[in-house]
């Protein structure tokens, strides 16, 4: 347990460190990406290099737009450059990748959905830039609200959503944790479930597994009536189990609290097998997925905004819009690679731990870690943006 | 599957999380072509720094959308004043992006009273003057002058090289020399500085700010050549 708590603790610290973002740029116009100029994390060298490349790309993009305005033929070059900028821009630090990756960790979404979410959130980001620039030009001019204000609000909404999605997933993961047989048995025996998780020797853990079945049976028996009570005593003997299991299964047929929600193989305890909650919760996952998409996408990329404003002012409508969508495509590719890495990493970790008695607890811990990471990101980003 | 391997795997995942959540160097989104005038008197006293900044085309167009209060599509005098004032208030926190160094310390500069703004050929131009707030005799001391943004939002280009810095009113004996750091070399140097920091030291406290290391500087002296 100390190991798990240490990892969780370090995740907390990381989440807080990740939140130093300011909405307003140092210039007072335009939205800055992150306020902390450079951090001394493990990846600072890599990020410094990426930042240098990004700068080169952004300058090249600017020159391509200006030459297009002059009437030079550079349309394809501009679109290609925008795509490359999208790929590299997303490779740098940013909230989109962090949100999608943490979401993938917390929601247990599959690989396909991760890639899909990455693409949709990048698309939403492009559309959000279009909407904000359109609003800024056609509706907000002459009002007290500027496009930069609107962008700041979109950013705040985006960060608030990050927190909300994290909270939602945390609640869900905690719900699942409480339903874990290992935890339930611990609670049933009036012992701390956390001491169970730390159970180091396998013998003790396998004893636990029997105990857990006995507990469930006992609970089922109680609701079913006195008939099951004698069976509870014999349930401690392995041989007596099948007979006892059938009788209780029949008796408790309608008792929902005794229904086993795990895989059929894990349900040898005589409780009826039901689909696991996470396979039933797809509308919930869909909802949180949509929220995650907006959490990423509402906050537009400042590069996309300036490119669109330049296109708008200089009549390069098609160039501006295509450039922004090419950029979104590039971003989507990088983000989906990171989302896939998260899913594969999670899978590898769970496979590695599958033979340990707390395999499903490990899965819950990863979910909770992801959800906490999201919440902390949300709090940090919100705090930074509000302070700025 | 040992407990050790599992812990290692979790640590690995946490490291990935750290990388994703760490705010590191954002790249600049605004580019300024800078022209700096170093103003002195004929005795070699350092009087003021004047900045003339030509903002890049993309940023300039976003400014039109933000500040075109009467929706004419053009920026008029009042709107330009509003831009200058917004920028003046904001960059005050960042030393007006203007730094003059006397050895290891910064020369005291007075805040500009006004940041003037112009809109010309689709580009916003800003200019302002910062008086030197202490007596500096350039015949005995040399100063290094630069424009940079520690927040890394704005990047300064001195495209004219040493010509981007102009000496005004100073005696003819004054000389200027441009220090342009090589980007890769500067990045390597910055990494070295970071590496020597203690665990509790913040980046930038000891003059290790990335923008600082990367900045182009003009060294100015009026001392007699030896």
Whether B3 and chain A come into contact, CB under 8 Å, resolves to yes
Minimal CA–CA distance to B27: which of A86, A333, A33?
Answer: A33
Set of chain A residues whose Cβ sits within 8 Å of the Cβ of B17: 11, 14, 98, 101-102, 369, 373
Consecutive H or E run containing B145: strand B142-147
A35, A54, A307: residue with CB nearest B58: A307
Check residue A4 and give its pLDDT.
45
Q: How far is A342 from chain B (nearest CA, A)?
A: 8
Q: Dump pLDDT digits (tens) for A35-75.
A: 333 444 555 566 667 777 777 888 898 889 989 888 877 88
For residue range B100-134, list pLDDT tens digits in order. 999 889 999 999 999 999 999 889 999 999 999 99
Q: Kindly state the average pLDDT of the residues B52-77.
A: 90
Q: In this model, does residue B16 exceed pLDDT 80? A: no
CB atoms within 10 A of CB A218: 18
- Compute the average pLDDT of residues A361-381: 86
Answer whether B13 sits within 8 Å of A141, measured CB to CB. Answer: no
Residue A35 structure tokens: 């306020």
pLDDT digits (tens, 9 = 90+) for A110-169: 888 889 999 999 999 999 999 999 998 888 887 878 888 888 888 888 889 889 988 988
Please enumerate in sequence order all residues whose Cβ is within 8 A of that of A103, keeping only pairs 6 or more positions apart, or say none. A109, A117, A165, A169, A288, A289, A292, A370, A374
- For the whole model, what pTM was predicted? 0.68
What is the predicted pLDDT for the residue at A188? 55
Using CA atoms, how far apart are residues A241 and A269, in angstroms rounded to an integer?
A: 8
Alpha-carbon separation of residue A215 from A191, A196, A260, A345, A359 (angstroms): 13, 15, 13, 35, 20
Query: A345 and B13: CB-CB below 8 Å?
Result: yes
Q: How far is CA A156 from the centre of its chain?
A: 18
Tell if the CB–CB gap between A43 and B22 is shorter than 8 Å. yes
pLDDT on residue A388? 55
Would you call A59 an interface residue with chain B, using a CB distance cutoff of 8 Å?
yes
Tokens of A68: 């297009």
Q: What are phi and psi of A364, to 5 degrees?
A: -65, -40
Does residue A367 contact residue A176 with C-beta atoms inside 8 Å?
yes
Interface test with A, best of B7, B24, B181 (most A CBs within 10 A): B24
Q: Is residue A322 predicted with pLDDT exceeding 60?
A: yes
Whether B183 contacts chain A with CB within 8 A: yes
In tens, the pLDDT along B149-193 reads 887 788 898 888 888 999 999 998 999 998 887 766 766 766 666
Among A24, A40, A47, A84, the strongest candidate for a mutation testing the B interface, having the largest count of B CBs within 10 A, is A40
CB pair distance less than 8 Å for A306 and B29 = yes
pLDDT value of residue A239: 44
- Mark yes or no for CB contact A141/B71 under 8 Å: yes
């Amino acid at each position: 347990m100390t190991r798990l708590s240490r990892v969780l603790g370090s995740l907390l610290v990381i989440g807080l460190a990740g939140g130093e973002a300011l909405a307003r740029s140092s210039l007072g116009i335009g939205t800055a990406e992150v306020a902390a100029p450079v951090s001394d994390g493990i990846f600072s060298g890599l990020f410094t290099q990426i930042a240098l490349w990004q700068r080169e790309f952004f300058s090249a993009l600017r020159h391509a737009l200006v030459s297009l305005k002059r009437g030079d033929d550079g349309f394809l070059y501009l679109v290609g450059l925008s795509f490359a900028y999208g790929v590299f821009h997303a490779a740098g630090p940013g909230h989109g990748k962090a949100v999608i990756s943490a979401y993938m960790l917390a929601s247990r979404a599959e690989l396909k959905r991760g890639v899909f979410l990455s693409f949709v959130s990048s698309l939403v980001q492009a559309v959000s830039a279009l909407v904000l620039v359109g609003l800024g030009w056609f509706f907000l001019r002459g009002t007290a609200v500027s496009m930069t204000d609107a962008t700041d609000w979109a950013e705040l909404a985006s960060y608030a959503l990050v927190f909300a999605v994290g909270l939602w997933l945390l609640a869900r993961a905690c719900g699942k944790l409480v339903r874990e047989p290992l935890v339930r048995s611990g609670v049933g025996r009036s012992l701390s479930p956390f001491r169970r998780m730390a159970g180091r020797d396998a013998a003790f853990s396998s004893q636990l597994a029997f105990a857990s079945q006995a507990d469930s049976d006992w609970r089922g028996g109680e609701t079913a009536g006195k008939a099951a009570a004698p069976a509870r005593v014999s349930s401690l003997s392995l041989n007596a189990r099948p007979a006892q299991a059938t009788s209780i299964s029949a008796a408790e047929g309608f008792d929902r609290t005794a229904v086993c929600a795990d895989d059929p193989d894990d349900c040898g305890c005589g409780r009826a097998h039901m689909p696991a909650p996470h396979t039933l919760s797809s509308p919930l996952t869909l909802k949180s997925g949509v929220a995650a998409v907006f959490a990423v996408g509402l906050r537009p990329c400042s590069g996309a905004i300036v490119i669109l404003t330049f296109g708008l002012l200089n009549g390069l409508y098609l160039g501006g819009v295509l450039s922004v969508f090419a950029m979104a495509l590039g971003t989507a590719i990088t983000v989906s690679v990171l989302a896939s890495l998260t899913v594969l990493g999670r899978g590898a970790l769970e496979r590695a731990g599958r033979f340990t008695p707390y395999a499903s607890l490990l899965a819950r811990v990863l979910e909770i870690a992801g959800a906490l990471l999201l919440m902390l990101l949300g709090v940090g980003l919100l705090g930074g943006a509000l302070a700025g | 599957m040992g407990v050790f391997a599992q812990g290692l795997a979790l640590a690995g995942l946490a490291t990935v999380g750290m990388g994703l959540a760490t705010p590191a160097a954002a790249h600049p989104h605004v580019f300024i072509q800078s022209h700096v005038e170093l103003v002195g008197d004929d005795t070699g006293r350092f009087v003021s720094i004047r900045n003339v900044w030509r903002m890049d085309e993309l940023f300039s167009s976003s400014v039109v959308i933000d500040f075109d209060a009467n929706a004419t599509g053009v920026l008029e005098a009042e709107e330009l004043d509003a831009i200058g004032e917004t920028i003046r208030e904001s960059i005050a926190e960042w030393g007006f992006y203007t730094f003059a160094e006397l050895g290891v310390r910064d020369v005291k500069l007075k805040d500009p009273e006004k940041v003037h703004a112009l809109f010309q050929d689709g580009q916003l131009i800003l200019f302002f003057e910062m008086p030197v707030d202490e007596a500096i005799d350039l015949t005995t001391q040399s100063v290094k002058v630069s424009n940079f943004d520690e927040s890394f939002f704005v990047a300064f280009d001195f495209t004219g090289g040493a010509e981007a810095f102009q000496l005004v009113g100073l005696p003819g004996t004054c000389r200027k020399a441009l220090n342009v750091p090589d980007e890769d070399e500067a990045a390597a140097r910055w990494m070295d500085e970071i590496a020597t920091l203690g665990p509790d030291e913040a980046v930038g406290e000891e003059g290790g700010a990335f923008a600082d290391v990367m900045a182009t500087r003009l060294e100015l002296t009026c001392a007699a050549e030896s």
